[in-house]
Amino acid sequence: MKDVYIVGAALHPVGRHYGKNIDDMAAEVLEKAIGDAGVDVDAVLVASSTAELAERQQLLGSYILESLGLNKTPAFRVENGDGSGGAAISMAYGLLKSEEYNCVAVVGVDKPNDVLSNQQQDIYAAVVDTYFERYFGVTPLSQAALMAKMYLKKYEYRYEDLAQWALLMHNNGVGNPYAYLRRQVKLEDAVNSELVSEPLRLYDIGPLADGAAAAVLCNNRKDGPRLLSVSASTNSTPFNAREDYDVLYSLRDASQLAFKKAKITPRDIATAEVHDSFSILGVLAVEGLGMAQKGGALAAVKDGALPVNLSGGLKSRGNVLGATGVYQLVEVAWQLLGREFKRVDGSYGVIHSMGGVDRFSTVAVVAL
Amino acid sequence: MKHESVPIYWRNIPQYYRLVAKRCKKCGATYFPPVVRCRCGSLELENVELPREGKLVEFTVLYQVGTDFLKQKPLIIGIVELANGVRVTGQIIDAQPNKLTPGTKVETVFRRVVVDGKHGLVMYGYKFRPVE
Ligand SMILES: [Zn+2]
C-alpha cells in the first residue's frame, strides 16, 4: 500500500470572526492549502461539529466548494463532536490507503461565536447523552470536573498543581501566530479565576473560538511529513458506568494501535498535540499516550520538559471544536518542519483528537 | 435549549419516572441507560426497576450551566451508586455541598427538571437527595 504524505496545509487565525460565514472561512483555508500543495484534490472531507446547531447549515461541503468555484469534486461531511477533525483525518487516511483517491483535502471549521455564550453551552453539551445527561443539566464541563476531583484526590495533587497546565499552555501559545490567547499568565490568575465546576476554574477551560484549518494529503507525492498511522476508537461506556475516571479509554485503545502500526514508542515523540478541552483531559491524555506514568503528568508538567501542545493547546490556541484535530495535524507537521513554529528536536509527532469526554479518539503518528 | 418535541420526553417516561433499567437474563448485567444488547452478546434483556437508595460516589458544583438551568444554578451534579451497584449520574438536591462527601447516603426523588415557559412544557424526572 502507498504511503500518505501531508503535502499542503493552511490555518486560519483562531478568534472571533463575526465578519465571515462558516463556508467562507473553510473555503479560505482550503484554497490556501490546495495552493500550498500545488495539486488538484480528488475529494474533500469537511469536519465540523456545530454547523447545524450554530449556523443551521447542512451540506457544508457543497457550499465551501461553491465559494471556490470548484464543481463536481465529491465532498463529505464528518461529524464526531469536537473529535470531528481527527475522525475526518482517519477517513482521509483510509481513502488514500485504499487508493480510491490520490489526493484528499481535509478541512475543519466551526464558528461557536455566532451564537450567544450560554447558547454555546447548550451546543457544546450536545456531545453528552441527550436523554440521560444533557436533560438533567450534565455537561462536558461537569464530567471533566468530576474526573479532575477524583484525579487530584487519588494522586494527592492540589488545585495549584492542575493550574500549571494552563500556565504551560499559555507559555507555549505565545509562539503560535494562529493562537487565540497569545499571552503568558500567572499562577495567581489561574488560581483566582472564576469557579466553573469545582474544582475546575475558568483557566481550566479551552475557550470556544472560531477557526478553520485545512490539509492536503496525497499518496502519489512524497514531499512533506508522512502520516505513519492513524487509529481511532470509540468508548461507548456511559459516564456513570465508567470503570476508572482517570483513564481515557478511547485514547488508550487508539494510541496502542497507532503506535504499534507506526512501530514507534512514546519515547520517540518529539511533539504531541492533545485534546485538552479541559485541563484535566490534557493531563490524562499525556498519561494515555505514555508520555508520563499514571498519576505522573502534573509532576512532569512542573518539570517543564514535556513536548506537549506546543501550539498552546485548546487553552491558548482555542477550542475550535470540530476543526481542532485538523489544526493539530497541521501544527505537528509544521513543528516537525520548523515552518511557522520553532523546529522540534526529533522526527515523530503525535496528535490526539477527542470527541466529548472520552467518547471517541483518533491518534495519528506523523514522521518527518 | 429548545423543547419542540414532546415524543422525546414522553418515550423516556419509564426511565425518568421510575429508573427502569435493562437486565440481561443470561449474565445478570444491568444497564442504565437501557441497552438492546448485553456485552455478553445476549439479546434477552428484561426491564428492572432500580432501587431508590444509594450512596454518592463523587459530585461537583456546576456554575456554568445551559439555558434551561440558568434560574437553578449552581447545580450539584453527582454520580450515585444505587444499592444494587448500578450507578446513575444526576442532580443532587436539597443538599449543602460542604456537607456532601463520597459515601453520603442518598435516595431517589421525583422532581421537576425543566420548565419551558415558551411552550408551556413542564418536564419531570429523577433527582437524588441526601438522607439522614
Ligand atoms: Zn449478558
Which residues of chain A neighbour B16 with C-beta distances below 8 Å? 135
**When comparing pLDDT for B6 and A346, which is higher?**
A346
Sorted by sequence, the CB contacts under 8 Å of residue A100 that are 6+ apart come out as none
pLDDT of the residue at B81:
98
Per-domain residue ranges for chain B? 6-130
User: pLDDT-derived band of residue B13, with 50, 70 and 90 as boundaries?
Assistant: confident
Query: From the CA of A142, how many Å to the nearest CA of chain B?
Result: 6
User: pLDDT-derived band of residue A162, with 50, 70 and 90 as boundaries?
Assistant: very high
**When comparing pLDDT for A321 and A121, which is higher?**
A321
User: pLDDT-derived band of residue B4, with 50, 70 and 90 as boundaries?
Assistant: low
Mean pLDDT, rounded, for B44-70? 96
B89, B100, B108: which to substitute to probe chain A, counting the most A Cβ within 10 Å? Answer: B89
* CATH label of the domain that carries residue A38: 3.40.47.10
Mean pLDDT, rounded, for A9-35? 97
Query: Which of B12, B58, B114 has its CB closest to that of A146?
Result: B58
Amino acid at B6: V
A132 in any annotated domain: no
Mean pLDDT, rounded, for A258-277? 98
Residue B56 has pLDDT above 90, yes or no: yes
Residue B117 has pLDDT above 80, yes or no: no
What are the pLDDT digits (tens) for A298-310? 999 988 779 999 9
Query: From the CA of A154, how many Å to the nearest CA of chain B?
Result: 12
The rounded distance, in Å, linking the Cα atoms of B7 and B3 is 10
Residue B17 has pLDDT above 90, yes or no: no
Residue B6 has pLDDT above 80, yes or no: no
**When comparing pLDDT for A128 and B123, which is higher?**
A128
Chain B, residues 64-103, CB within 8 A of chain A, namely 64-70, 72, 75, 77, 79, 86-91, 97
Query: Which of A133, A198, A240 has its CB closest to that of B87?
Result: A240
Strand order through the sheet with A269-273: A75-78, A43-47, A103-110, A211-218, A4-11, A226-234, A360-367, A348-355, A269-273
Q: Which among B93, B107, B112, B118 is positioned nearest to B50, based on CA atoms? A: B107
pLDDT of the residue at B1:
65
Mean pLDDT, rounded, for A261-267? 97
Which residues of chain A neighbour B69 with C-beta distances below 8 Å? 137
Residue A157 has pLDDT above 80, yes or no: yes
Amino acid at A268: D
DSSP labels for A58-103? --HHHHHHHHTT--S--EEEE-BTBTHHHHHHHHHHHHHHTTS-SE
Sorted by sequence, the CB contacts under 8 Å of residue A54 that are 6+ apart come out as A22, A110, A111, A112, A114, A115, A123
- Inter-axis angle of helices A159-173 and A279-288, to 10 degrees? 90
Residue of B nearest to A148 (CA): B60
A276 in any annotated domain: no
Percent of the residues in chain A that have a pLDDT greater than 90, as a whole number: 97
A59 in any annotated domain: yes
A110 in any annotated domain: yes
pLDDT of the residue at A235:
98
Residue A48 has pLDDT above 80, yes or no: yes
Q: Do A96 and A67 meet the contact criterion of CB atoms below 8 Å apart?
A: no
Q: Interface pTM (ipTM) of the complex?
A: 0.96
Ramachandran angles phi, psi of A209, nearest 5°: -150, 160
pLDDT of the residue at A305:
76
Amino acid at A8: G
A358 in any annotated domain: no
A81 in any annotated domain: yes
pLDDT of the residue at A365:
98
A45 in any annotated domain: yes
Q: Which among A163, A206, A204, A162 is positioned nearest to A186, based on CA atoms? A: A163
DSSP labels for B6-59? HHHHHHTHHHHHH-EEEEETTT--EESS--SS-TTS---EEEEEPPSEEEEEEE
Number of neighbours of residue A35 by Cβ within 10 angstroms: 12
Q: Determine, for residues A197 and B60 on separate chains, whether the beta-carbon distance falls below 8 Å.
A: yes
Mean pLDDT, rounded, for A334-353? 97
**Mean pLDDT over each residue of chain A, to the nearest integer:** 97
pLDDT of the residue at B2:
66
The rounded distance, in Å, linking the Cα atoms of B48 and B67 is 33
Cell output for B130: 441526601
Residue B5 has pLDDT above 80, yes or no: no
Q: Which among A318, A293, A297 is positioned nearest to A306, based on CA atoms? A: A297
Give the number of C-alpha atoms closer than 13 A to the C-alpha of residue A221, restricted to the C-beta side.
19
pLDDT of the residue at A188:
97
On the question of a cis peptide bond just before residue A199, with omega within 30 degrees of 0, the verdict is yes
Mean pLDDT, rounded, for A106-126? 93
Cell output for A24: 467562507
Residue A195 has pLDDT above 90, yes or no: yes
Domain that holds residue A53: 4-117+212-218
- Inter-axis angle of helices A140-154 and A159-173, to 10 degrees? 120
User: pLDDT-derived band of residue B83, with 50, 70 and 90 as boundaries?
Assistant: very high
Q: Determine, for residues B15 and A240 on separate chains, whether the beta-carbon distance falls below 8 Å.
A: no
Number of domains in chain A: 1
Percent of the residues in chain A that have a pLDDT greater than 70, as a whole number: 100
Sorted by sequence, the CB contacts under 8 Å of residue B53 that are 6+ apart come out as B82, B83, B105, B106, B107, B108, B131
Positive or negative: CA dihedral A186, A151, A118, A120: positive
Q: Do A360 and A222 meet the contact criterion of CB atoms below 8 Å apart?
A: no
Q: Exposure of B116 by Cβ count < 10 A (0-12 exposed, 13-18 middle, 19+ buried)?
A: middle
A17 in any annotated domain: yes
